[in-house]
Structure 1
């Protein structure tokens, strides 16, 4: 009996040791990866294919799919803030398409045309745009998660032919009626991308749902055997927990990270307007650096009316003091007007240890910027700006003291825009920061919709 107990204990100890080895060396994941590549690729000669798979550095890939309004983008952007071991670059297909639209290219025009009918853009266009981002991440050996792609069988086959096999394919299952209701909400919200005749909304919603259902069947056929379905009818936080369980993520014990957003754009691009909207929607602190400088720097106007920037030493001291305040630390912030050069960005990240969670670039042409600023007057007492053509104050006292800002004079703007463009060229090449480019020439509601 004693010998039997010893033998059992030895077996259990060996089993624990073996289990530990399998976990530490990711043996289960290796076998799972090999099975997936065989299921999807179906090579004529499996052995060389498996050897090739094992010898390549493994980039992890997650696909999240679901019908319109299933909040795919919100889920993948929230994962990093809530789970400690989620280290993936997010690819939001809508953002990539928006960036193409800002280029005013032929592809961008076709994307706009498709959006007007709430339908899919052409496969070839989407494949070309999305695979460029994927190839770059693969080249850098970075894990990635993508939402809203592949939407069709053709898109799925294109990825398979390129050798991009998902480690996880999550499909959000949402009831038809809820999907149509969410499409309606998207089409009737203030931030709706296109205006739609209210009477056509039911038919547009039905068409969008049917288009999704038709194409998703082809996608499911390609990834048969590796799809994990998640109930998308539940509250967003519950759906997120379900996705996390599927991905075997651990919940962060520390508080959720406060957002650190920076908006960039030339004067007249609408940065302050969008920063204020972001502040209200996400309850973060809007730090308008220009206003801080005007209130704290004695010779502000004498310096800026010549087109010269305020010295970095002064700017850095004032901005750091504001970022150190409790409200910015707890709630997070959206920075407007900082950093304006590489030295300031270096201080923010390297010296102060503040890594932005999102950089948002509002693109407008020089002509559009000048046009907007020509229309602006401001009150030197309150600092409030007014439009000459649309919202002049009714109060005669305020009206009489309105003036054109010295910063908006043509020679000053020319210098500011030149400095901005030089800085942005350097910044766009910086790796490791999440960046989004938005067409800032649209109306404010459309721009805000694109940002969110």
Structure 2
């Protein structure tokens, strides 16, 4: 970037790097924690945060009444994300710095003081395993007072999930609850039986099995605190119906936790549209460009424009176009990257269609600084593609486009003068489709995070599907951190 020139042109590499590593969100997080903790030495504090590393770890509070399945969901969630499962029992067992004070309160049958309990939670969550891998607090906080104490201590979860179910269902679950003494996993005699016969034989009732009356009393106690507790987090709650198979409950919670919150970070859309001939790539590109003010780049039109402007590159591709031969990949890449490097593309974003056509072109594009942030495949069958293309025509007088099946002309006079493009003959279309399908598997492998959209539907429905995946952030990848 040349600081002496105006206006300043920010290289596309800077934007790609910032978005790839979530630089804006990382700075936002660091400033937020700086304001919360108010350290004496802000610089060393920020250096310490950076040394700890991962900012994209799950920080989840899982709440719900007794027997709602919190333990099962928490274990499944931690297994998939590698986060640390934290329960009240875990915090009570770990006492490195409190000299047995919490246990003495328990032995006397007294409640642990609020300030001490908050410090115990804070200490556990500040350990390196929770910092690097994230955490899931099961059934913590239990009251509004605890919730406010955690907030004052700077413990801010990204997600608060509340499991809910009718009391009669919860009582039935509590009475049928069974524990695997070797693993601690929770099962139920009717709703969640283990598949392994060996595990099934060693199941036992909980050590402190509750009667129906005791369970009802615990539910009453939970409800007495739940209203004020949940009001503390009311803007961030996600309710999940626990009265359904535990597999579905776990899937819903996991989807919610992996969904990233909306970011205020600046984002420059860089979109690739793939699809067979007739899938509507050009139309979707126009709609995206119009709504989001991004640059619509069709590789075919771009090459024709370069040919028409009689530049050096135009003279270079002239022999190929006049002979009806494909322009070499190196020249096409040069033309496309030159267009993507212009100021409007780097500042507003772009949507490219018609390029890359094969694996080799995709690899060459990836080697440049113009890396897409979203890739879409518009999927449709050959039959639909042939029907769309072979029956379309143009009125040479008005330039109006028609389709003999979906949009026929209103009068015989227009019908008589319609012109069909020779390239839209069925045999020509089938050849283009064969070429597309031949390269498709490798392109799909090259863009594993690409989004597939059904293109055999109304164009506005397709646009809404694309748009919904464009404005939201991509889900978090599952953590692979080691303890």
Name the TM-score, length of structure 1 as normaliser.
0.46
Name the TM-score, length of structure 2 as normaliser.
0.43
The structure whose Rg is larger is 2
**Structure in which a larger fraction of residues adopt helix:** 1
